[in-house]
């Protein structure tokens, strides 16, 4: 039987989703819970890699198991065996050829910026504290230039070995909610650090870059043309669609 589970996690304590030798990972914790509940588990895969400190509101993972449980019991059993900073909120049975990563149609990320003059201990590891007043209209005009199929080489971490840098961005926009500014971006795929470089660049609009400059940054196909990489702590995988 093959399952898809949807989970959320606070990534502060982890080196990312993927199992690594240099620290605890979310995947390691979920795999431990799966084997406790199901025994033998195969074809265990997540929908994406995440960097250390990145969070998820809707992360997906698929796995095959010899034993069968009703989906509502899968949720309860896994949550009973997961740490407090990881929780499963949905489970479903999927076809045998389903793959959490390769079956994805669209992923959406959210990046949170706290704009208050003083930092907040409640947002310390969950948003980028960046004081300022932001021109929402200018930010959204700039973000609109990211939409469509583009070579996003300028928004990829230097040293990445990926050669095909074309991705299709379906939507990119900012929303203001009181003291919190959020950037939303959805695409058919993302390059390494792509969203964080987008945020670090866009937040310099219009002080450093006029909104139309984003087109020139894309066309440069050069990481040096874009702005700084925003910190990991403000980034959330927000939604995954299959």
Tens-digit pLDDT profile for residues 128-180:
999 988 999 999 999 999 999 999 999 999 989 899 999 999 999 999 999 99
Average pLDDT of the chain, as a whole number? 97
Mean pLDDT value of segment 115-135: 95
Q: Are residues 14 and 130 in the same domain?
A: no
User: 107 burial class (0-12, 13-18, 19+ CB within 10 angstroms)?
Assistant: buried
What total of structural domains would you count in the chain?
A: 2
What residues are annotated to the active site? Answer: 51
What average pLDDT score do residues 16-39 get?
A: 95
Assigned domain for 100 exists = no
101 falls within a domain = no
The answer to whether residues 229 and 142 belong to one domain is: yes
The pLDDT assigned to 108 comes to 98
Say whether both 112 and 18 belong to one domain. Answer: no
Same domain, 30 and 134: no
Same domain, 133 and 219: yes
Is 99 contained in some domain? no
In this structure, are 85 and 142 located in the same domain?
no
| Predicted local distance difference test score (pLDDT) of residue 171 | 98
Q: Is residue 98 part of a domain?
A: no
Q: What percent of the chain has pLDDT over 90?
A: 96
User: Given this model, what pLDDT does residue 155 score?
Assistant: 98
- The enclosing domain of 89 has a CATH number of 3.30.70.580
pLDDT for residue 236 is more than 90: yes
pLDDT band at 21 (very low <50, low <70, confident <90, very high): confident
DSSP per-residue codes, the chain: -EEEEEEEE-GGGSS-SS-BTTB--HHHHHHHHHHHHHSSEEEEEES----TT-EEEEEEEEEEESS---HHHHHHHHHHTS-TTEEEEEEEE--TT--TTTT--EEEEEEEEE--SS--TTSTTTSEE------HHHHHHHHHTT-EEEE-GGGS-TT------EEEEEEEEEEEETTEEEEEEEES---TTHHHHHHHHHTTTTTTS-TTHHHHHHHHT-GGGS-PPPPGGGEEEEEEE-
More confident residue, 159 or 11: 11
Range of the domain at 229: 106-241
pLDDT at 92: 97
Mean pLDDT calculated for residue range 53-77: 96
Q: Let me know whether 110 and 182 are in one domain.
A: yes
Same domain, 138 and 232: yes
pLDDT digits (tens, 9 = 90+) for 81-104: 999 999 999 999 999 999 999 999
């Amino acid at each position: 039987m093959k399952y898809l589970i949807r989970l959320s996690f606070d990534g502060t304590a982890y080196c990312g989703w993927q199992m690594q030798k240099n620290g605890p990972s979310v995947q390691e914790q979920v795999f431990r819970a799966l084997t406790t509940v199901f025994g033998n588990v195969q074809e265990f895969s997540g929908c994406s890699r995440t960097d250390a400190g990145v969070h998820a509101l809707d992360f997906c993972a698929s796995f095959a198991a010899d034993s069968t449980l009703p989906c509502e019991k899968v949720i309860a059993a896994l949550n009973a065996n997961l740490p407090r900073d990881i929780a499963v909120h949905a489970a479903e049975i999927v076809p045998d050829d389903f793959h959490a990563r390769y079956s994805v149609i669209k992923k959406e990320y959210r990046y949170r910026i706290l704009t208050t003059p003083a930092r907040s201990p409640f947002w310390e590891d969950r948003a980028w504290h960046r004081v300022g007043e932001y021109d929402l209209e200018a930010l959204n005009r700039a973000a609109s230039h990211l939409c469509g199929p583009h070579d996003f080489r300028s928004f990829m971490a230097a040293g990445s070995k990926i050669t095909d840098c074309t991705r299709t961005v379906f939507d990119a926009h900012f929303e203001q909610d009181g003291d919190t500014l959020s950037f939303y971006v959805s695409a058919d795929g993302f390059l390494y650090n792509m969203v964080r470089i987008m945020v670090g660049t866009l937040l310099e609009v219009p002080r450093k870059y006029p909104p139309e400059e984003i087109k020139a940054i894309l066309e440069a196909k050069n990481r040096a043309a874009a702005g700084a990489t925003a910190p990991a702590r403000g980034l959330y995988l927000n939604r995954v669609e299959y």
